[in-house]
Every structure is written in C-alpha cells, then in structure tokens.
Amino acid sequence: MSSYDYVIVGGGTAGCILANRLSASGKHRVLVLEAGGEPNGWWIPIPAGFTKLMVDKRFNWNFKTKPEAGTYQREIAVPRGKGLGGSTLINGMIYVRGQPGDYDAWAETGAKDWNFETLKPYFRNMENYAQGDATRGHEGPMRIHQVTERYPLSNAFIEAAQQDGHALNPDYNGDEQSGFGYYQVAQHAGKRWSVVDGYLKPARGRSNLSIETGAHVLKLNLEGKRCTGVTYKQHGREVTVTAKVEVILCAGSIQSPQILELSGIGRADVLDNAGVRLKHELNGVGENYIDHFATRMNWRMRNTVTLNEMARGWRLGMAVSEYFAKKTGILTLGTGLVHGFVKTNPSLTTPDIQYFFVHASYANAANRILDKHPGMTIGVSQLRPKSKGSIHIESGDSYAMPAIRPNMLGEREDQVSLIEGMKIARRIVMQPAMQPFLEEETSPGVNVQTDEQWLDFARRNGQTIYHPLGTCRMGEDEEAVVDSRLRIHGLSGLRVVDASVMPTMISGNIQGAVMAVAERAADLIIEDAKLIN
C-alpha cells in the first residue's frame, strides 16, 4: 500500500493549484488522483473549441438535473470538466473576480477570516493581466487578457448601453463592476490558458509529486473519526493509498458531496435510502446547492456579418487559416464577447444582473448549432440567486449520476431580478446605435410583454451557466460541512477545497473565485503542517 503526505482527490482547478503549492517545498509527498485523463484533446487549446468540448464525453461528465416543476420538468445539462484541469479545459474562459461584498458575505455567514480584504492579495498574486492598474496582478501564473476581437455589432451594443444610461467600464475586475465593455478571458497568445498551463506543468517535474489519471475514487477510508486514505479504481483494479497528513477533496460541487456520501459521511436519511452505512453524520453534505441561471435572448440582424456566417463555408476556411497563422479571429472567442453588469433597481448598491453578448445565435443551443441567418444573443443571468437546491446520491454505485435538484427560480427575488434584467436588455437593443443592424427579436419575441410571460419564457428556456457551488459550505453552524480552515467538521485528516465550500454565490463566473480559494487554502494547509511538525 502506497503512502503519501497529501492525497488530492480531483485534478481540476483547485486540485492543480494545490498540487503545485503543496509540492513546492519538496518536503511533502503529494498524490493527485484524477478520474479523467490528460488534457490532450485537439480542441482544448483552441478557445472556440468549447463548443465541441461541452458535448465531448472524454472531457465532460455530462451531468443533468432532475426534472423540476420550476423549469417545467426539463432535464438541464450541468457540464463539469473531466481530466487534468477540470472545468478550465472546457469552459468559456471568462474571468471575473466578483464583488467585494460577495466575500464579505461569507464572513457574515460564519466563515471566519474569509472576506475580500483577505482574498484580494490572492487574486493579485495569481493574475498575469496585461492591462489594468495596481489593483490587478501582472506577474502571476494565470494569464488573463481582454478579448482582442472587435466587431461593428459589439461596438454598437456597447454604444447602445451607454445611450441607455450605463457606464463604459474597461475593467470590471477593478474597483467598480458596473458598466459595459469587453470581457477578460483566461488566454495567452490566442490559446486557452488552463490551470494545467499555469500551475500543473511547472510542477510536473518534481520528484515528490505523483499524478494518477483514470483513477476513479470509490470512497474515503475512515478509522474512527480520522480519514486515513482513499480507495480508487484504475484499469479495472482497486487501489488503496494512505495519507499521513490528510486527504484533500477537490472534486467540485457535484462530486465532492457525492464522494463524501459514498464514504458514509452525510445525512442519515440520504445514506439509508442509498444503502450506504452511516459513518459520520453531517447534515449539510449536498445541501445549499446554488447555481447561476440564465436566459438567452436572440435577435435576427442585418447589414452585418455575424458569427453565424463566419463559422461556415468559405468564411470558416479563412478563419481557420487566420487562427493557425496568427492566433487571431473567431477561433479565439469563448462564450462571451461583451460584458454588462447592471442594477435592475436604483435602490441596489451593486449590480444584480450580468449580460453575455455575442454576435451569434443558436438554432439549437444544447447542441451548439448556429442559426443560418445573421444573429445576436444576450445571455441574462441573475448574479446572486437566493434559490437553493441539493445534490445527493441515490445508490452506493460510485459510477451512478447523483440526483441534482437545483430549485432554479424557486425564490421570488430571483424571478423579479431576472425579469427586470431581460427588460433592460431589450431596452438597450432598442437604442439608436443598434437600429442599423436590428431586424427582429426572435426569442422571446416582442409578444412577450407581461411579467408572467417573461417568467414563463425563463422557465421554459433558461439554463444553468455551469457555476454550481455551496454543497460542502463552510461555517460554524450545524448545517456547515467544513470549518473556516476547510476541515470537515468532526473528522481529522480530511478537508474540502473547491467551489463546494463557498457559502453564497459570487457575482459572476466563479473560476477566479475557486482559484483564490485554492490559493488561500494552500497557505492554511502549509500553516497547519508546520504546527504538526
């Protein structure tokens, strides 16, 4: 039986960062267990490849929600990255810090010392951002760049937003989030820049770091109230490894609670129903599931060439040639081109809606099939949803998909915010700057006018935008799963470090927040190791 100081379960965003940081001193033996494989896919370095990767079973777990009344019994896709790099291999690369109040809210819920002032240095230290002032980092491992491509339609949309009274904001990750401008993305020299590029590749030559891919974790091993190691399956064979210091669960907001429950850690009724013996009762495991929900409004355009036409025929051939010659053009685009952060109510102190503008529209969004006519999409997402759901196992089979019940639009506050956000998006598009290009609103269509109609559209068409968190939340109350040092309550030798520990939602895409959490977690783990030694 092999033994290591630290066993990291999951080689995604947090796992890659911890692998680098915990092996850096050379003092500790570190093992990373990743169920997926190496990030060797053809499409991974090409930013526009996310459209292929989102439906590729090699790199996506392809989770789905359970049908729920609030979204008219639809199964909704919940993509999660599979392989070293996790979701940074397949996501839209958009980088958002969020608002200071997001992190201050964590402290208010009982997560001691987790606030923006504490996390701000970690954001700066990990960022390598070419633009920006002293509030931004410029020498960190994560390459961040503002989207370089500019199009007449995107410029017109930004101008229309200003005509509607909104500010131009070149850096929403600076002191002020409100306003419109071009997104910042995790890219370098026209290629995707994942945590593998920023953290894992520089560490892979270290003799004290071991990485096992194709390692599907079956359970965490407990002796009394201590986690002693992990059992996983690889190439059809069960393997058990021990952790001298601790096991660190970095499997994400869906699979971290799943692994805990499979190991007998969680709610007694859930485990009993799944046929798993209870070893450590912890009622918060799998609860507090929060995700961003978004609608996509579409328009048919004129007097311009959009991505719909650029991505087919001879234009696509030219775009491919441009990308491989210069690493520019449409293949450098991710899920968003222009950002917008707005307040739907003047009484709010900070934005509650985020927009994702792209000069493209989908005939079939689930399969990423573009319309044949010129099109434009505005994704509308409420920043801080109050609706909470759950994720729980339904059997003791580690290969079975857990039951994901997000309870989207369950709270009236979420409904009102999203409805108002869609109204504002329509109002912006009706401004003078957009009129030379505007043909018609195709979705939801101008016949949708009342709040009831807007809500019906959201329930019928809205999707998660893949930011699940909170299912192993930190705090000190009875429903918290980990304490403020991310240690599992009531157990030793086990921590959780990923988006599942976040008590409340971040105002924007959560990749940056996960990285900051992992960076701070590394410091906490190293501090605790010094106390042991």
Burial of 176 (0-12, 13-18, 19+ CB in 10 A): middle
Catalytic residues: 467
Under 8 Å between Cβ of 157 and 195: no
3-state secondary structure of 281: strand
Q: Look-up: residue for tokens 């069960």? A: 238
DSSP class of 395: S
Question: What does the alpha-carbon distance between residue 37 and residue 84 come to, in Å, rounded to a whole number?
Answer: 6
Q: Which two tokens stand for residue 405?
A: 């019940």
Question: What does the alpha-carbon distance between residue 265 and residue 498 come to, in Å, rounded to a whole number?
Answer: 18
Q: Look-up: residue for tokens 């609103």? A: 441
Under 8 Å between Cβ of 81 and 14: no
Residue 231's φ and ψ, nearest 5 degrees, are -110, 130
Under 8 Å between Cβ of 221 and 183: no
Burial of 29 (0-12, 13-18, 19+ CB in 10 A): buried
Can you name the residues that pair with 138 across neighbouring β-strands? 128
Comparing CA positions, the residue from 298, 405, 430, 419 lying closest to residue 352 is: 419
Question: What does the alpha-carbon distance between residue 486 and residue 473 come to, in Å, rounded to a whole number?
Answer: 9
3-state secondary structure of 329: coil
3-state secondary structure of 362: strand
Can you name the residues that pair with 78 across neighbouring β-strands? 63
Pairing mode of beta strands 403-405, 390-392: antiparallel
Question: What does the alpha-carbon distance between residue 316 and residue 431 come to, in Å, rounded to a whole number?
Answer: 31
- Amino acid 398 reads S
Comparing CA positions, the residue from 238, 266, 216 lying closest to residue 398 is: 216
Under 8 Å between Cβ of 277 and 271: yes
Can you name the residues that pair with 420 across neighbouring β-strands? none
Comparing CA positions, the residue from 126, 46, 149 lying closest to residue 90 is: 46
